[in-house]
């Protein structure tokens, strides 16, 4: 049986390594060798949904956590996933999106029109001021926003995009999940809308009219 002195020495050593783990690269991964892509929505409790410790106020150490609007695949999501997998020891990707998402709540074409009405030239917007060569073709801004028609379909296609990307090794475990905001429960995405629980998984269920720009079609 360890003495208290030995337990404290071990705890201090483990904490010290935790604090400087990035300098060890792939030999200093997070606790679960895990990268999570999630929506930025404040109602999306990643730790509760996945049963991990990554999103607490002080950080739980279980995963690298990346949030954006919708929890969708973007160039920066790919950049972050590529780094954690190829250089920091991550072996698994989990995508978690949710019902009642704000990215279901409006039509992307209407958002483009609203920006144009404010005098913004959406065909000439620098996506990254530090990387001016990263640009959209004319007319692609609405697609770039990434509004959804169906969260289940988007989750499935997000997983497929990571599986098929050349910067993501083929042996990485990748899965996608939907958090039901209304019931605080996790489920697998389901393409068959009539068999889903009665929640808000589609733009139509949020009374949005018209098809979105064709990002997820």
Distance separating alpha carbons of residues 144 and 216, to the nearest angstrom = 11
CATH of the domain at 29: 3.40.1050.10
Q: What is the pLDDT of residue 19?
A: 86
Query: Region 146-167: what's the mean pLDDT?
Result: 97
206 pLDDT tier (thresholds 50, 70, 90)? confident
* Contact (CB, 8 A) for 142 and 109: yes
pLDDT: is 72 or 193 the higher one?
72
Q: Are residues 120 and 196 in the same domain?
A: no
Q: Are residues 119 and 28 in the same domain?
A: no
Sequence-distant (≥ 6) Cβ neighbours of residue 38 within 8 angstroms: 44, 46, 65, 66, 67, 71, 95, 96, 97
Q: Are residues 30 and 128 in the same domain?
A: no
**Residue 43, phi-psi category: left (phi > 0), alpha (psi -120 to 50), beta (remainder):** alpha
Distance separating alpha carbons of residues 123 and 111, to the nearest angstrom = 14
Give residue-wise pLDDT tens across range 16-38: 888 889 899 999 999 999 999 99
Q: Are residues 162 and 94 in the same domain?
A: yes
For residue 216, count other CB atoms closer than 10 A to its CB. 20
Q: Is residue 45 in a domain?
A: yes
Quote the pTM value: 0.86
Three-state DSSP class for residue 154: helix
Q: Are residues 95 and 166 in the same domain?
A: yes
Q: Are residues 139 and 40 in the same domain?
A: no
Q: Are residues 61 and 88 in the same domain?
A: yes
* Contact (CB, 8 A) for 169 and 93: no
Q: Are residues 33 and 67 in the same domain?
A: yes
Q: Are residues 100 and 129 in the same domain?
A: no
Q: How many folded domains does the chain comprise? A: 2
179 pLDDT tier (thresholds 50, 70, 90)? very high
Q: Are residues 86 and 154 in the same domain?
A: yes
Q: Which domain holds residue 161?
A: 24-105+150-184+191-201
Q: Are residues 99 and 176 in the same domain?
A: yes
* Residue 65 phi, psi (nearest 5): -115, 125
pLDDT: is 55 or 157 the higher one?
157
Q: Are residues 180 and 111 in the same domain?
A: no
Q: Is residue 123 in a domain?
A: yes
Give residue-wise pLDDT tens across range 61-119: 899 999 999 999 999 999 999 999 999 999 999 999 999 999 999 999 999 999 999 99
Instruction: Find, among 82, 142, 136, 85, the residue nearest to 111 by Cα.
Output: 142
């Amino acid at each position: 049986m360890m003495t208290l002195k030995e337990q404290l020495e071990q705890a201090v050593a483990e904490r010290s390594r935790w604090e400087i783990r990035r300098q060890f690269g792939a030999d200093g991964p997070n606790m679960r060798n895990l990268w999570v892509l999630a929506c930025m929505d404040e109602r999306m409790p990643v730790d509760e949904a996945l049963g991990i410790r990554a999103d607490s106020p002080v950080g739980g150490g279980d995963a690298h956590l990346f949030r954006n609007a919708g929890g969708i695949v973007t160039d920066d999501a790919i950049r972050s996933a590529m780094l954690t997998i190829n250089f920091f020891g991550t072996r698994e990707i989990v995508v978690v999106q949710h019902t009642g998402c704000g990215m279901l709540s409006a039509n992307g074409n209407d958002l483009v029109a609203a920006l144009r009405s404010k005098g913004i030239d959406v065909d000439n917007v620098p996506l990254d001021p530090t990387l001016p060569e990263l640009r959209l073709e004319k007319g692609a801004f609405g697609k770039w926003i990434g509004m959804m028609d169906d969260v289940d379909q988007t989750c499935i296609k997000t997983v497929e995009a990571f599986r098929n990307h050349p910067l993501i090794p083929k042996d990485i475990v990748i899965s996608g999940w939907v958090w039901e905001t209304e019931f605080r429960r996790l489920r697998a995405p389901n393409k068959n809308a009539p068999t889903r629980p009665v929640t808000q998984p589609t733009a139509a269920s949020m009374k949005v009219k018209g098809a979105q720009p064709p990002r997820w079609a």
